Structure formats: structure tokens, C-alpha cells
Structure 1
């Protein structure tokens, strides 16, 4: 079983994602301190809540620096929801806040007038994950033709189209459902809430061997 470091920084439903990863075949170790990342085969960063608080916690504990070092050394990584947004350069959630800077781009809010146009904020529930059927990322390949579960009020806007691995449309906004490069992948949806499709994706992550 793959050894997976699940980063616990006080913002996320650790129990549900840990159980989903175990069900998908992973051996999960919840980590709170940067030195605990050593020796793990894979890293998962979950999270819900405010971007500023997320980054403050990661930086204050030294986890941000240790995480970036592991990823630069090639450790496979999955960011979920806020964990995906943390990969970006900057978030515009209640101000401007620096992210990890591992994927160039920004985190943006859905339009303020969305509710007036019949689109609730947050975007919550089942929706598509739009993938290239002929060359989907190996972690996302099980999601071709499937729907997944979203809960978010902000979305990633990568600077380079090559970093967008999947998309979704909500109202008249097309946003990145998944981003990534090299050994890094992030998803805006919650695989642990996406039933069989989500578990299949987590299994694909556990088996993924980045080039």
C-alpha cells in the first residue's frame, strides 16, 4: 500500500478524505509537522475555508516550505478544493494573499451578481468535469463522462492553458476543475464526496507514477 501523508492544518474534513484514501488502497498518515513529510510516497493537501487562514497556518508551521521542497523533489501531490487553490500564486479572496506559487495564476471569486442570474454561491452539488477523452491526465481518466461533487465560492485561473487539466461550467463561467504539472495535481471538486467516480480517481492517484 502506498504511504500517503495527509496534511492536517486544522482546515478540512480529515476523517472523510482519510477513509476515502484508505478505501482506494492507500495507507494514510495524518501529519501536522513538516518533518513528518519525510519518507512519504505521496502527499495530499485537503481543505475548506479561507485562503488567508490556510496559508497562514501552512507558513506558520513551516509546512509550506517543507511541502514545496518535497514537490520540487518529485513527490506526487494531490490538492483538494482549498488545497488546489493554495498551489496558485495569489488569491483575491477578501484581499490579496500569496499562495505557494507552484502553479502560475490566481484564485478568483464567482461574479457578485451570480445570485441575481439564478446561480447560487457557493457552487454546490454535482456537475461535470470536462476532460479531453483521448488524452486525459492519468489521475483524471476514471472521470471521463462522470460528474463530481463541488462546494466552492472561488476558482483557479491558471496563467498557462497547459496547466488546466479539466474544466467545468457554472452559469456563464468556465473554470478549472483540475490543474497540474509534472508531479502536481489539484482538483476543485471533492473526490471523497463523489462516490464511485471519486474513489476511482483516488485509486488512480495512488497508482500514478509521474514521468
Structure 2
């Protein structure tokens, strides 16, 4: 069974429907004491970083998610959920995150764009798969994360965001380009994050979701 964290932020119905499409059982979980019963956990989200962390802290879900990650079971954050995995965000001030992956979340720097672009970054964009070193079982022989099994090195996913992560190269499994190159997917052993929305990304997104159920 897969738990989908419900902290009142995100299109949870789309996430549940996506798991159903790949034949997986998933259900919402809002009680921190129930998290450890799941084999896999998804942290989705749409909205502002400080509001999300406030909801997680007030319910005790922040510590429950950290404990789940420490257990070694697969945990995937998507969109805002990926950003929450990091140590901090500059969205509406300085705010502490879950600290599961080193790094921080920053706003797109429009002064670095090679031509005028709108922020938020919204729509289909390409993800370029990277290679990392990880413990046996999390990557294939080429160093690609097993979350990309059956997918090419370059494919499109659906994005909606104004902020992106900055982290060490050793955690980066995917990069994209919008005005400049930015981190669009990360992994630290069992903790995985996608800036785009797999549940809104048709076949490629569903393949990511299916792969997550097999990790």
C-alpha cells in the first residue's frame, strides 16, 4: 500500500487516479501515527513552501516523514513536495524544510534568462536524465536512477513552478532548461523528488509512477 500525504495542499485526486491507472493501491494519510504502516510514501503539493511546512509541523507530519525516510522505504516528493525535501526555501522569506536532501529552493533568476520568459514556468518541458552514484538497488549499471527504467534519456513532463532547487551534483538525476539550466529531479538513496507533476504528464509520468511502485 502507498500512502499519499494529505496536508491540505495539492491536487490529491489526480495523484490517486494516477496510481490507480498503473494498478497500484494508494490512499490519503493525514495521521502521522499511520505513516509507518505504508511501504511507500508520496509527498505531493501545490502552493507556497511556508504554508506547506506550517501544515506539516502543526500536525506532526514533518517528523513522521523524516522517520519514514530514515526507514529506507521509498519516498517521492513532487512539485512543492520535492521542494519540501530540501533544507530551506527563500519563498516569502527564509523557511526551514524537511532537510532530507542538502540544498535550498530559490526563485527563478530572471536576470540570467537569455531572453524574456514568464515566471511561473508553466507547461511541457524536457527532462534530461543524469547519472549518480548510489547504493546497490537504487541505480542501474549505467548510473541511471531506477525511477527512469523504460524511459529515454530525454523526455517531456509537465511543470508549474516559480522556484527551483539548488543542490550538489551527486543528488541530481534530472535537469531541465528554462532561461538557464535548473534541477528538475533529485535522489538521495530512497528519497526521490520531481519538480514536474508526473501525475499530469501522461505516459511518461505514469511510467515514473509505475516505477516508483516497484522500487
Q: How high is the TM-score relative to the length of structure 1? A: 0.92
**Contact 1:71 1:184 (8 Å CA) reproduced:** yes
Choose the corresponding residue for 2:108, options 93, 110, 115.
110
* 1:116 positional shift: 9.9
Matches within 5 A, 1:1-211: 3-113=1-111, 117-132=115-130, 134-144=142-152, 145-158=154-167, 160-171=168-179, 173-208=180-215
- 1:66-113 per-residue CA deviation (whole Å, 9 max, x = no partner) reads 110111011110100000000101000110000001111010001245
Taking the aligned partners of 1:76 and 1:7, their CA distance within structure 2 comes to 14
What runs of 5+ residues in structure 1 fail to find an aligned partner? none
Report what 2:136 is aligned to: none
Taking the aligned partners of 2:119 and 2:67, their CA distance within structure 1 comes to 35
What runs of 5+ residues in structure 2 fail to find an aligned partner? 132-141
* 1:135 positional shift: 3.1
Taking the aligned partners of 2:146 and 2:23, their CA distance within structure 1 comes to 17
Taking the aligned partners of 1:165 and 1:115, their CA distance within structure 2 comes to 23
Tell me the matched-pair count: 204
* 1:180 positional shift: 1.2
- 1:8-45 per-residue CA deviation (whole Å, 9 max, x = no partner) reads 00000000011001111221110111012121000000
* 1:52 positional shift: 0.1
- 1:43-68 per-residue CA deviation (whole Å, 9 max, x = no partner) reads 00000100000000001100000110
